[in-house]
Structure 1
């Protein structure tokens, strides 16, 4: 017949099975299979204990005691797997094989105990009346199983304790409930194993599952233990610098990291409140929480606060689901306040720069127009000055003819006048050539040039203006003809000779040498002007061809810094180039290279120096 212990044990079984059924009907949660396996193991343990209590013969009692071992091994093992899955994430299904194999092995050892006595050394009734409880003397396998079970117990306590430290205040009651639920059976079991504490003359551990079932029922029914997945919890959530909110299906904040708590005036009181009831962030975040993302999570811009303290966030809504079922949503707020301010400043800067660019373009257009007007004036002035200078030069020549017979003392003065006229004409020719070279529509003339005659004419004209220096010509290897713009090439030779004579010391020698080369990729004519002048500082050699640049050691000599630049531009237009080699205080050599045939309007200038 039924006894009070049997009724209590069967009640425990009924409550545990009802709890398992209700847990199965809840939305899926991490460790659900392990949780149900734990409940079924505990139910079987309590069922076997009830059958042992109801049995009258010692043999039947011992049989049910042996049958209980699958539940005894399974309950704590599956409990640990459930705790780990709930706090740290789902474990692999292979771990369930551990309690299943251990339970079957222990059950096998129990059913064959009569052969080896490893589990029960003996089992004797404590009295002579029918149905008296048995007193067990345990064997070595019982000790091994006890160590196995207590290991899982210690691990369960450690994992749950770590969960308490990492959980939000609103969730800590869940983990405390875990500890209470697991502590009751183990306290009972420890008392039974160590001090032979019994209840109704049997192991009190199965009775303690009644208390465990009541605690779990309260956690599920009142504390909603499994209704929201433990996603984005603990350390990971706290480590995120941006505000993160986890909402359940009703819009209640069930998790918030410290960055989210800082958005409200009462930090620490955000969890447990409905989002629409939080005045600081509810009005701007509720529409984002209710919005349905079309193509995955899409950030939306919101502003929290007003005035100088206002902050702007990109809100990303991520639906939370488990096994295809929606359980809530996560709101990630990325603070873009600084970025938006920088973008605004950048926009203002770009607008200012655009205005400045337009003004600069207007000024540049005005400057170009002024430059065109100036060039036009210079060109006109040069043409206008050439006529009177020609008259002056012609008159000086006629006076020289007269002076040779009538006034020989006037000859040096008249020659000085002619040198001054030639110098002015050279300056005018340079201005006219520079204006022509600056014209983008410039087209070179292709004259058939008598090169030796051009060189001798230029050398004669320059020698007349530098009587205290010696100009030598080496034209033995000079090609007789050259194709090019005669006026521009003549200007190149004049500038190179004038440059050599100007910076040579009185009595110095300037050599003009010309030769041809038939190497690859095309035949070239080389024209070098070598002087024994002041030379060029090594660090300035590469700049002597720049427009308006003059070396630092020629400040006392007249010049504009245009001549060598013009030589380079004319050489490049003819498909050639110009090089300079110089030693400071010893002299310089300029080498002009021109193609012998007709070449396109392109070249690369090479500048080098030694010393």
Structure 2
């Protein structure tokens, strides 16, 4: 047999040898759940890699196919063996009864049989194509239908195994979790290589990366065997979990006696050798919070606060301990000192609270430029920044400070502070603040020599003051009082100073505003009055122009469009009245028809004039329209005209919903349809249509006729009052399309026409579409 060695073949053979070595290494470990399955899994991988390596060195398609068939011994076995190992290792082997195991091997047996007999059916390999580079000696296999069944089955088993290991990694503790994670790290590497090969994304067509990946996977598993003692857990687990944890670990037996404690627990709780074997309540009498948390809890996770020399926070976790029969034998208690973390979080929360309070207060303080309102806001917002029982705002005028605002929960101090003008040079704490610009805190007023006492303020035991500074000058003071000694400290002084800086900005802005407010208000009032009168004048002028235009329209229509039909109607009526005996039946029918036509025309003109008049004053409400019903009503109104001209209508089966006012929209359709009947072809064929919603939120409707079409000049004169087209063919009053334009614009839409001479015309309008 001719052979052709390549680098890829050598790596495959190395992968096979590595897999054999890892399998032997696992086999030498102490017996444990999953050990045998993992051993055979590594041997299956070895067969896979070695056979693939021999396939790479073989020359000729028959030889390569032979070794590919041999490799399927490992290919079909590896997923099943790894799945069995995962269930055994994670203690889920109750699913591995004989019947289930036999079912697991059914698909691999079928797959191998089909591979061995592939030359008869091609269900595994559908084609064999030499690789693009002869020096690589690679054969590209086309995959048949059953190959994908095998891939799906194998990936399902590997996915189930990965889920089992992931759950174990989540449920296990410490070293057990690390062991499961080691297996999880080793599992995806070959799997990823196989996905790359199956998907055809490999660097070299036809090169299966899976066996190469087993070199890395085998190394990871070997590392887990040696470092984490994959199948020999007890000694390392005890050392890692109990002795070397920075957290305090207690082991309690079923009677809540201390069975074990790591060095961290002995240091934290002050335990000595005599504590072991004694009841929890006796040994930890100095830790009542811990006793209460552990007394009845079988499994818990919480935070306890102890009050010994100072506040201390401990994160407590309690977990059950089971024997081999899964009976509870005790509890594992883990304590972690999180005092510093809690204090850091409290400090961060304090800073965030201060920043939020100052930010919100700044918005409130600067929401007005009225000084009285600013002072009220300062007193109200001060409570949020520095909690207190009483507070005051002092403003400096010359050498004296006067309380501008004060508030108390413990009695009235307004009468006292409001009538006193403090001489700053004679008041020591105010004098110090003016000189230094720093706040002053008195922890206990009874021990303060410079505290000035009044009967109304005798209850005050602690206070803090901060200067209000603007433009480098102290313009006032903020004061907070409390009934508790030591209530205020450096923290409150810093917060008070920060708030005083904001108050200074607001007070200064209000004062500047007050100085110029009168002039601005007067000027603003003049400007507003002038603008109002100009707006009224413009509105009145526009209204007058509109009414004059409408009056002209009424006069023109009444004078011209109603005069002729009325004259004909009266003439024929007079003829029928005085000369009926001399008329033939044909003459009478002609006269009656003319009377009916002119009366119908006058009725149409009057209806349109009423619509036009109503549009000027109506306050309509836009509603979703049943457009089909509106169109049917318009056709009913035009029924005499329709019968006379023999009109053929083409209408859509479904109308889109638009917003409008039904009586007005009906008038639009009446005008468009009557124009199409009068000016369309003979007989008229009218196509009614509706378009989908446009990007601007409009629905488009149209009437398309079969008439002669319109020139550009004629199109430009449409939709203006008293324009009549093709007057030789039909008589019109020239007001209809202008009404259409007015209606549509009032409803928030547009009108238009699309036409070319000799090709008919399309009159359209748009209406708003419903929201959503």
Does the alignment reach a TM-score above 0.5?
no
Name the TM-score, length of structure 1 as normaliser: 0.41
Structure number, greater radius of gyration: 1
Task: Give the structure, 1 or 2, with the largest relative contact order (CA under 8 Å, sep 6 or more).
Answer: 1
